Amino acid sequence: MQLKERNWQNFIANHMRDWHGIWTRYSPTGEIMESFQSLRSFRSNPEKTIIHQSNRHIYADGKIEKKLAV
């Protein structure tokens, strides 16, 4: 199996789920500018040839941003 195909199969096998985390943005001098909760979700089509990624950012003020990537 070629390396690209093996990498794709590993990604499909190990990353098709929800990933919860905290993102922190820093200033150029290293100070924390903001932190927020995040949910990154990966889903594939039935043939496992396309991955859909959605990102949800939840800020301290209650604002929620949703972004999709294909």
Q: Name the domain count of the chain.
A: 1
pLDDT at 70: 62
Over 90: is that where the pLDDT of 32 sits? yes
- 12: containing domain: 3-69
Three-class SS state of 2: coil
Round the average pLDDT of the chain to a whole number and report it: 94
The model's pTM is: 0.75
pLDDT in tens, 34-68: 999 999 999 999 999 999 999 999 999 999 999 98
